[in-house]
Structures are given as structure tokens and as C-alpha cells.
Amino acid sequence: EAQVTQNPRYLITVTGKKLTVTCSQNMNHEYMSWYRQDPGLGLRQIYYSMNVEVTDKGDVPEGYKVSRKEKRNFPLILESPSPNQTSLYFCASTQGEGGYSTDTQYFGPGTRLTVL
Amino acid sequence: TQLLEQSPQFLSIQEGENLTVYCNSSSVFSSLQWYRQEPGEGPVLLVTVVTGGEVKKLKRLTFQFGDARKDSSLHITAAQPGDTGLYLCAGQDSGGYQKVTFGIGTKLQVIP
């Protein structure tokens, strides 16, 4: 079954404690993205990756890091989480062929993060 | 940063009524997508529109992309309780690649 998986689904942590949210897709997609979803602000893109070792900033990259060492995995790293990073996070992947892509973007189930 | 304004943000209607959700921007998008999101789940793609003036239909849902590729609308005919959910529009940056901007969303409730 084609899917995007995220772990953990729920996480409560404290300010400053480094954490990683994993994302994996089994569709051999080139493009992957991370979003955060907040009430009144909608979904905002944090980082995206066009292929292995190729990443770029989205609209709200501050406080986040990503890596793309393998095609299937795109972890989101919070080196020093702060309360304003409390949010619902989604990973997504798209096939694409480079440049413009109108292919389906598949979203993971989401990770609800609370930073105390 | 390109912005997508979505309206209305909340909509509560009776089963059988028609409704239209709008997605507007001052920027041109290379493509625009509509998603539906259920509570506790990620968004699921409904349709992608690419060509200015394009109209696509998905059963009772009709999607239209503006001629200038700056706006779009979603029209639902004879809404059903199963249509309840959060509807999101998303535009892809005309500069290419995968930079995507989402609207805030329209929360639709269809009352039986």
C-alpha cells in the first residue's frame, strides 16, 4: 500500500530538548515536504526536498533542520524546540519529474507536537 | 511569499443545499490543487487544475481555475453530510519546483 508514515504521532517535550520526527515514503517519490498546521494560519511549508541531498527552505524554516540522505526518508529535526513550535506537523511526498509538478501530493497522518 | 485567501472560513449548511468556496490570490500559480482534510488525518488531494479557465468535475464537486490562474472556486451541488470536512486550496509557485502555498481552509459542516 502506497503511504507516507510519520513517527511519532504524538509527542510532548520540553523546551530545548532536541527531537527528530521521522518521515518515510514507499512510493519512490523524488519530492518531499514538511508542513506545520496551526489554527488561523493553515498549512505552511517548512522545508522541501527535490531529491537526495537537495533541500530548500519553505516559508517558515526558522528553528528547523532537515536532511535527505536517502530517497525514502526525510526527517525533521528540532535542535532546540521552543513553545512556539507546538503544532501539528505533516510530511508529504510527490512523484514529480523535476521543475513543475502536478502530481498527487500524499500526506502522512500528522505528528502533534507539544513543547512545554 | 505568495498568499492564498480562502473564503468563507466556516460554512454550516443543510443537507441538499449548494455552496461555493473561493480561493483568491494576487499572484499567478502554475497549478492549483484542492484538498479535503478529516480530523486527525492529513489532507487528501481532490483535484489539480493547471490551465487558466479549466473546469473539472468530481461527482457533485465542480472546480474552476480562473483565466489568469490567480483564483479558483469549488462548488458543491446538493451537499451531503459526508461532505463535511476542511477544504484546502494550495497553489504551486510559478517559479517551479515544489514550493506550495496553502489557503487557511474552509471548514464545512453539512447538517442532516
- Look at A2 and B64; give whichever has higher pLDDT: B64
Residue with cell 505552511: A44
- Partner-chain contact A100 B88, CB within 8 Å: no
pLDDT of res. B97: 55
The mean pLDDT of chain B is 91
Judge whether A66 and A34 are in contact, CB under 8 Å: yes
| Rounded CA separation A32/B82 (Å) | 30
Q: For chain A, list residues with pLDDT below 70.
A: 96-102
Residues of chain B with C-beta less than 8 angstroms from the C-beta of A107: 42-44
pLDDT digits (tens, 9 = 90+) for B72-95: 999 999 999 999 999 999 988 765
- Residue A94, chain B, CB below 8 Å: the answer is yes
In angstroms, what CA-CA distances link B1 with A76, B14, B35, B99, B101? 22, 37, 21, 10, 8
pLDDT digits (tens, 9 = 90+) for B5-55: 999 999 999 999 999 999 999 888 888 999 999 988 999 999 999 889 999
Q: Considering only CA atoms, which of A7, A100, A23, A4 is closest in space to residue A67?
A: A23
How sure is the predictor about B2, in pLDDT bands with cuts at 50, 70 and 90?
low
Compute the residue count for chain A. Answer: 116
Residue of A nearest to B48 (CA): A102
Q: Is the pLDDT of residue B104 over 70?
A: yes
pLDDT of res. A97: 53
Amino acid identity, residue A55? T
How sure is the predictor about B96, in pLDDT bands with cuts at 50, 70 and 90?
low
pLDDT of res. A95: 77
- Partner-chain contact B41 A110, CB within 8 Å: yes
Q: Considering only CA atoms, which of A62, A30, A31 is closest in space to residue A46?
A: A62
pLDDT digits (tens, 9 = 90+) for B26-40: 888 888 999 999 988
- Residue A109, chain B, CB below 8 Å: the answer is yes
pLDDT of res. A1: 80
- Look at B65 and B99; give whichever has higher pLDDT: B65
Three-class SS string for chain B? CCCCEEECCEEEEECCCCEEEEEECCCCEEEEEEEEECCCCCCEEEEEECCCCCEEEECCEEEEECCCCCEEEEEECCCCHHHCEEEEEEEEECCCCCCEEECCCEEEEEEC
Greatest alpha-carbon span in chain A: 41
pLDDT of res. A104: 79
